[in-house]
Amino acid sequence: MRELLRFHALYQERVWGGQALATALGRTLPPGRPIGESWEIVDRPEAQSVVCGGGFDGRTLREVLASHAADVMGPGWRADRPFPILVKWLDCRERLSLQVHPPAAVAAELQGEPKTENWYIADTVPGAQLIVGLRRGVTREGFERALRENTLEQCVHHFRVAAGDSILVHSGQVHAIDAGNLILEIQQNSDTTYRVYDWGRVGLDGKPRQLHVEQSLRSIAWSDYEPAPLRAAPTSGVIADCAEFRIRRVVLGAGERLHFRSREEARLLSVVSGAVRVVAEGAGSRAPTGQKLSRGDNALVPYAGSFTAAAEGMSILLVTEGFSPGAGA
């Protein structure tokens, strides 16, 4: 398999969204609508990525995996098994709800799915913040009292962020993204979110959005206090490492190259700054001049392909790995 898999974006309206994906990433969005999320790579019953270009053009990710599971994901990957990662861009023009995803220990009982996710901050406005975890010393009893008294903000951990920062948010950690953040979210393939508090806001229909207080209280990790983000750095390194995936930040100067060797593992390549040209290695490549990936682009690097990514200027890439059978072999 000598081609990257690239996909059409699936745009989602959200009450807290805006139009930053157009201004920051050069996307063409539905005009005047609050677009909060762009689902870049997804394999779910309710949402399917469709391949853009190449030999699989027009086919869904599910169809590609059904017919080429071993080439894309590696030996032993069942053709009916969903792709395990969901990649999104988030335009948080306004603050998101305070929410939590159920940990594996309670997810099945609540008929939900666990979701660990990583946020990479691509852009912020001055003073922008994230909310992750509880303030030190907050108990469940105090949290529930603050919920009744509408003073919950004092119970959660706020911290400022800048472009290039990131944080790994585990299932069970209460969290919210504050206004003014443009974020690349790389997560488990899950869409279970329990809203515990929505800051008194109404939805796009003008009515208060549904809350899931009971489920949230059962899911929150009550000993999770004040986690710290990983701050931006000018060097390459691992920015997230968990059971579900690993993410490396790769910083390339102009002309520097990153190699993906065949039959190691499937990977995801996300360009968060600059641009690269990716060429498939080996005779008979269908795209000898390669594909250009610019800021905001995401691609699936298949298990059975060899590729070289060459930076066209100073560039920052995120490489997500550790989610397929070959990982760590």
Residues noted as catalytic: 195
Exposure of 177 by Cβ count < 10 A (0-12 exposed, 13-18 middle, 19+ buried)?
buried
Token pair 């290039």 is found at 164
Q: How far is CA 238 from CA 59, 76, 94, in A?
A: 33, 27, 30
Nearest to 268 by CA among 83, 45, 25: 83
3-state secondary structure of 38: strand
3-state secondary structure of 66: helix
3-state secondary structure of 106: helix
Token pair 């406005």 is found at 125
- The C-alpha angle 187, 190, 195, rounded to 5 degrees, equals 95
Instruction: Check if the beta carbon of residue 111 is closer than 8 Å to that of residue 309.
Output: no
- The rounded distance, in Å, linking the Cα atoms of 180 and 163 is 11
User: In degrees rounded to 5, what are phi and psi of residue 317?
Assistant: -115, 150
Taking the CA atoms of residue 252, residue 257, residue 74 and residue 118 in that order, the dihedral angle to the nearest 10 degrees is 0
